[in-house]
Amino acid sequence: MTPEVISQKLDRILPRVEKPGRYTGGELNEVVKDWQQVPLRVALGFPDIYDLGMPNLGLAILYDIINKQPDMLAERVYLPWTDMQEAMREAELPLYSLESKHLVRDFDVLGLSLPYESVYSNTLSLLDLAGIPLLTAERGRDEAVVIGGGHATFNPEPMADFFDAFVIGEGEEVIVEITRAVAHWKANPDAPRAQLHRALSQIWGVYVPSLYEVRYDERDLPAEVSALADEAPLPVQKRIVRKLPPPVTDFIVPYLGVVHNRAAIEIMRGCTRGCRFCHAGMITRPVRERTVDEIVDALEVALDKTGFDEAGLLSLSSSDYDEVLPLVKKVAERFGERRLNISLPSLRIESFSVDLMDALMGNSRRSGFTLAPEAASERMREIINKPVSTENVLTTAREVFKRGWHTIKLYFMIGHPSETLDDVLEICNLARAVLAEGRAVLGRRAKVHVGVSTFVPKPHTPFQWVPCDSIEQIRKKQQLLRDNLLGPRGAGKGKGKGKGKPGGGGGIKLNWNNPHETMLEAWLTRGDRRLGKVILEAWRRGVRFDAWHEHFRFDLWLEAFEACGLDYTFYTHRERDVDEPLPWDHIDCAVNKSFLAEDYRWSLEGRTRVDCRDKCFACGILPKFKEIRRQTPGDVWECPEVGRAAVKAGLVDAPAPPA
């Protein structure tokens, strides 16, 4: 099907669908290369709608990198919303790329971002709409090579059946290596797909699931993972870049409003805090920072090229960025006149954070200030290794209200290990104490929004062995929160949020998650390879857009589990033994399992760790990447420099690096 035919079909379809701007392409800064002149073509996709996929920074980075290669092109593809999917099926129009309007299946590579688990069933919808066989085993030589990347792929097993290969870790360098390997394979018309698979497995950071076999023991545990090809590495070590490459500045500017309409610049990658629940904090190590000048200069170019009125200075923990104050001052000085809305997420709970936001915002309107204690009692915060005193939370809140913010958003999780109903009640007490601080300053204008999500234990974290709360436990805790914070009037609402009138005065809003959606995340994130058939079965039964409340079908998922003879609670509620084999053991995120186990034990003992910028705890990163660290001297990395001193201290002597 030619671009002309596709465009003609679109002319008839687009006037009839909701938000047609999602499906046209043609935005400012998109890159359209001459299809005929470029031998290597990559479709980059996000398995959800345009509105969510467009602001994805990872895909923007890869788009930029691929399109800078003279012999490659990258074009975008997103999952159309249900009305458009229907219209496309009716018009017999398969999924096409936004730039040049070529069919996705005519590309050499389809790269898909899997940042979280609730896009798994969408991934099947996307492949299906593209006309690409869902199962890797059923793909012929001419079918696009399907590659997955993103944080969720650190446990690739549940999606193993559907991908030719996964990128474990950072994509900036590996994407080009993968594409070249595909080119090399295509040059030989007799080479079967399996040959490409073997070649891909030789690239650092690439996991080719079809080259591994999993044997389950009598306890249904993945007792042994063996490589089916001699050259396939075991374990597969994650990929990192030595130093963050220059930030993207030429962001595509959508015509319609999407979830984040902004220029996003990563100021730092990785986190040294060591919160035990945090997946990103474990898998993105080591911490690498960009310089203030690089960030500010890139932001200026990005603003001039896009015209965005919002900028995001992104990292997992802004307060920990070494030069955060100089950065904020420089941003305020350079862009103060431009009426920008600049976000600096994930600030520590301390009054210094209020100073930072104050300097950053200048005279602009102050809406909500976010504080994320994650747990309400000091005991609980020690267990999760986010130690901050309640006194400190309240002092910070007071400062926030004094400096012109009327609303504080407080983020908590329920379901942390060893949590009791008393710990849950502490959330209510802390929320009310914060509101009291606000009322002392602002009276009735002070508001507190409490967001309570449910903790899902994640692979490669110290809590990877912990059971997730059952639906009943979650319901009980949420009911307690509603009864206590919202009173009898608000408590009647069962849909995820409610407004309450504590003490008859209002001022508190509460948000919570649907426990069924939590279960989906919980079984997928720590699932094994057998879940592939559950995902396929659920999708065949009609599961669509799991991340969207109105579409999520828990009942269909349960039917799929039953049809496959599996029990979801095996994945969600079972307490794992620290010695038991885990489905992602053959994926090496460079943080040692022994370190995670030790940290888990420490949590049970209530022991905390300080920021590892202050003291290296030998998590495994340095010994595994010591050569790279040596090539990257100075404070670009926050891990200690590798030298005599480090060896002496036993930091780089630990387990031997893989060959």
Partner 1 sequence: MSNAALIFRYRARFTKAGALRYTGHLDLLRTFERMLRRARVPIAYTEGFNVRPRLQFAQALPLGFTSSGELVDLWIERCEAPAALLERLRASEPPGLSILAVWPVARVYKESLPTLTRSADYVVPLPSPPADIISRVAALHARERIERTRRDKGYDLKELLEALRLVADDEGARLEMRLATREAATGRPEAVLDELGLDPADLRIHRAALLLEGEAAAREEAAGARARA
The residues pairing with 268 across neighbouring beta strands, listed in sequence order, are 289
Range 543-572 burial, b when 16+ CB lie within 10 A, else e:
bbbbbeeeebbbebbebbbeebebebbbbb
Q: In the 8-state DSSP scheme, what is residue 243?
A: S
Number of residues that bind partner 1 (CB under 8 A): 27
Tokens of 514: 């649907």
Placement of tokens 């069933």 in the chain: 121
CB of 126 to partner 1, least distance (A): 22
Placement of tokens 């958003």 in the chain: 409
- Among residues 377, 350, 375, 548, the alpha carbon closest in space to that of 452 is found at 375
Interface characters, 332-371, with partner 1 (x: CB under 8 A)? ------xx-------------------------x------
565 near partner 1, judged by CB under 8 A: no
Q: Which of 12, 89, 549, 648 binds partner 1 (CB under 8 A)?
A: 12
Instruction: Rank residues 20 and 451 by Cβ distance to partner 1 and give the closer one.
Output: 20
Tokens of 151: 């944080």
Q: Which of 39, 192, 246, 257 binds partner 1 (CB under 8 A)?
A: 257
Q: Which of 31, 191, 229, 253 binds partner 1 (CB under 8 A)?
A: 253
Do the beta carbons of residue 103 and residue 1 sit within 8 Å? yes
CA 23 to chain centre: 25
Q: Which of 21, 245, 451, 467 binds partner 1 (CB under 8 A)?
A: 21
255 near partner 1, judged by CB under 8 A: yes
Taking the alpha carbons of 457, 463, 466, 472 in that order, is the dihedral positive or negative?
negative
The residues pairing with 311 across neighbouring beta strands, listed in sequence order, are 263, 342
Contact stretch for partner 1 (CB under 8 A) within 43-51, 221-229, 242-250, 300-308: 300-308
307 near partner 1, judged by CB under 8 A: yes
d(CA 531, CA 412): 30
Contact stretch for partner 1 (CB under 8 A) within 7-15, 222-230, 538-546, 563-571: 7-15
Indicate the SS3 state at residue 206: strand
Contact stretch for partner 1 (CB under 8 A) within 16-24, 520-528, 573-581, 635-643: 16-24
Instruction: Rank residues 88 and 244 by Cβ distance to partner 1 and give the closer one.
Output: 88
Instruction: Rank residues 257 and 542 by Cβ distance to partner 1 and give the closer one.
Output: 257
* Amino acid identity at 375: A
CB of 15 to partner 1, least distance (A): 4
Q: Any long-range contacts for 638-647 (C-beta under 8 Å, 24+ apart)? A: 638/270, 638/272, 638/286, 638/287, 638/288, 638/289, 638/322, 638/612, 638/613, 639/286, 639/287, 640/616, 646/616, 646/622
27 near partner 1, judged by CB under 8 A: yes
d(CA 373, CA 427): 10
Contact stretch for partner 1 (CB under 8 A) within 36-44, 140-148, 250-258, 585-593: 250-258
436: exposed, middle or buried (Cβ count in 10 Å: 0-12, 13-18, 19+): middle
Instruction: Rank residues 305 and 499 by Cβ distance to partner 1 and give the closer one.
Output: 305
d(CA 109, CA 232): 21
CB of 648 to partner 1, least distance (A): 55
Q: Which of 142, 217, 304, 577 binds partner 1 (CB under 8 A)?
A: 304
The residues pairing with 373 across neighbouring beta strands, listed in sequence order, are none
26 near partner 1, judged by CB under 8 A: yes
305 near partner 1, judged by CB under 8 A: yes
Do the beta carbons of residue 366 and residue 358 sit within 8 Å? no
Instruction: Rank residues 263 and 547 by Cβ distance to partner 1 and give the closer one.
Output: 263
Q: Which of 122, 210, 306, 454 binds partner 1 (CB under 8 A)?
A: 306
CB of 361 to partner 1, least distance (A): 14
CB of 112 to partner 1, least distance (A): 24
Instruction: Rank residues 11 and 575 by Cβ distance to partner 1 and give the closer one.
Output: 11
184 near partner 1, judged by CB under 8 A: no
Instruction: Rank residues 252 and 612 by Cβ distance to partner 1 and give the closer one.
Output: 252
Q: Give Dmax (Cα) for the chain.
A: 77
Contact stretch for partner 1 (CB under 8 A) within 274-282, 299-307, 328-336, 585-593: 299-307
Instruction: Rank residues 311 and 524 by Cβ distance to partner 1 and give the closer one.
Output: 311
CB of 27 to partner 1, least distance (A): 7
Contact stretch for partner 1 (CB under 8 A) within 13-21, 133-141, 488-496, 521-529: 13-21
H or E element, residue 396: helix 390-402
- Give the interface with partner 1 as residue ranges (CB under 8 A): 11-12, 14-16, 20-21, 24-28, 253, 255-257, 261, 303-309, 338-339, 365
